[in-house]
A and B are shown apart, each in its own frame.
Chain A
């Protein structure tokens, strides 16, 4: 019975991931340098192999961008972002999680239950920041099954005391890391890790800069694939891959070869994270004649966008810098006051010359839903059309979404928004 269940899972999981990758590859103007990113996703989700990492380096599963990768690299491990986007795992998790839990958490619980994904199963430690009710309960559920480090993320972040408390959470997490790797945290190894990630950030800045200057240079679905691949790639390798992609994009920009026509409506995706293989929305946008010019979700650039600001090079100073970087500029709706998300979206609209906003709400993701009203009011003020799309991890609503997205794109195309 169990074997049949796993077999069914294997087939479906493979088929869904393959289909998504096929649809991504089928989009026109796919840069050659994107191949390693797609290969990474294929390796983890189609071939169901573990992530590639140096021998003897344990992997640590993280469930949010608020877990600083620098800390994990510093202590001799590799972070793997495990937030789930799999429809098949979601269906498995549906039996375990409450009906109204968000699909992301259901997918994670499904992966844990089915025990068939090496990238998940081989993690020596799980790190779960408590950012919403579902993650909070997921943390308790995981802790009963796996070594898990729970990080309390402050809901307010403007007081120094909150930062101090989060810094202490990071120290506690570092202790858990030391237990699995045997490597204590020192200022030297943390500094090395900062340098390692700084290189990735430099390449990411180059990538962002290229997209800002030429919003039609690369399709958003490709950019999202590259960002998603970061979750399962050893940082230095990802940096090299992104550098090659940047080189290719720079060449294309010089030659004036754009991925889409200049008059294609440029959309911004914000809201709940888009995690491979749930590329339903980016693919629909691109297939229906829009251009996903930017995304503000936490699986996009947000994960590495802000470098830590180190004013004190001591170990404690660097830890504070990590705590600050993880929380203060973050636009996650976990924070009680999240006006900076509006500022960030406004900035992105300017930078990428956005003509419409797609607001993604995963069913059950209440925190993003709460912020929709404020976002809608802001967009109305700016004269930018916005559409709220609520969806789940299944393909049943694809055709309805297609019609809505198509209509939205037409509205922008013929509605006279000529930003």
Chain B
């Protein structure tokens, strides 16, 4: 069964790599992704901390210096493993995450403390299930809004609990200095990602958008953030050099943005569909990518760890695109920022079946995009492959419409 998991990861990587030649500097990132699914490593791996979901800042575990694995979902195979445990309508991310942590094939939770934030119904109930099955888990509650001081304090209180639990579990102290250093590293990651996006665009066809997406996703699977950053900077340098020497301009494909549910490796269905429909993925706006785009807070001179967390709350919560909020301002503002910053021809609003909180945001997303004159295409799917051909037809129709629209625009300009 674990071989199926490995095959799933290999299949996704091969599909992306078959699009065009992969630069050798990019292979390390793909290997990172692959290793995350290796049966041999999975049987051996005993992380100290497991971050379930993206809602708890990874800086907190980084500050403790503990061996951490992030579980975001993404895998169809692990989804199958949780079939008997969860209701039919549970979303694929929760199903997959449940399969990662509760399965008969490997036990990532053996020595681990699982840390998660209760941002959705599924997460809440999943926490109860895991606790009942003996998994050591700390679940912190997130308020439904962040615009009251009381709610920001609730977030800080939750994160203080996370830190205390990490310290108790790992016997390591999270100091102000260590947290500040982790925040600094997060800022380097954010700057690095922005630079990488720019470099890959100016390098034209050197990297396919799907490959670029995979490289960004590999962050969550990297065993060492320092090395990931170093490799990313090396790749950026290569791309810049490519652009300087023999850049071929990227094909004039309609530029599309994916918003809504996150694309998580190895579920690369959507980026691959965009490729096959002749669309260029320019960016993503979702809860996972938003985490890596959070600006670093100003570090206060005094105040200890709690002071830093308060600054983080102020800085992060308005940009957090999690489903936890009554209105997902983080998603809407993120989308607006990206529409302001670059030319976007269309938005694919990705809804993973069961992620009702994102479906509720669709009218607001449509209203926002209408102001920019950008069409929105709602695409609902799950991790299965049965609907790929139907989705391909719909995506091709969308691509055709965008191409016609662009041609029409050119005619008017002429």
Contact = CB atoms under 8 A, between A and B. Distances in A.
Interface stretch (B31-39, B143-151, B336-344): B143-151
A372 B87 CA distance: 8
Contact of B124 (A97, A134, A140, A155): A155
A186 interface: no
A334 B90 CA distance: 15
Contacts of A374: 132
Nearest to B353: A100
Nearest to B127: A336
Interface residues of A, number: 41
A367 B360 contact: no
B126 to A, nearest CB: 8
B154 to A, nearest CB: 6
A133 B356 contact: yes
Interface string A366-399: 1101111110000000000000000000000000
B121 A367 contact: yes
A363 B359 CA distance: 16
Contacts of B87: 366, 369-370, 372
B125 A137 contact: no
Interface centre among A97, A98, A130 (most CB of B within 10 A): A98
B359 A98 contact: yes
Given A133-B357, A155-B139, A172-B150, A366 B144 contact: no
B144 A336 contact: no
A367 B356 contact: no
B405 to A, nearest CB: 27
Contacts of A334: 124
Contact of A162 (B121, B127, B141): B141
Interface stretch (B47-55, B101-109, B178-186, B321-329): B321-329
A366 B139 contact: no
B141 A156 contact: yes
Interface residues of B, number: 39
A143 interface: yes
A115 B362 CA distance: 23
A189 interface: no
Given A133-B121, A336-B131, 11 more contacts: A98-B359, A100-B359, A133-B323, A133-B357, A144-B327, A336-B124, A337-B131, A366-B125, A367-B125, A370-B125, A370-B128
A333 interface: yes
6 contacts: A99-B359, A101-B360, A137-B357, A152-B154, A172-B150, A367-B125
B258 to A, nearest CB: 19
Contacts of B26: none
Interface string A130-171: 101110110111011000001010111000011001001000
B95 to A, nearest CB: 12
B318 interface: no
Interface string B84-121: 01111110000000000000000000000000001011
B157 interface: yes
Contacts of A130: 144, 326
B261 interface: no
Contact of A156 (B139, B154, B157, B327): B139
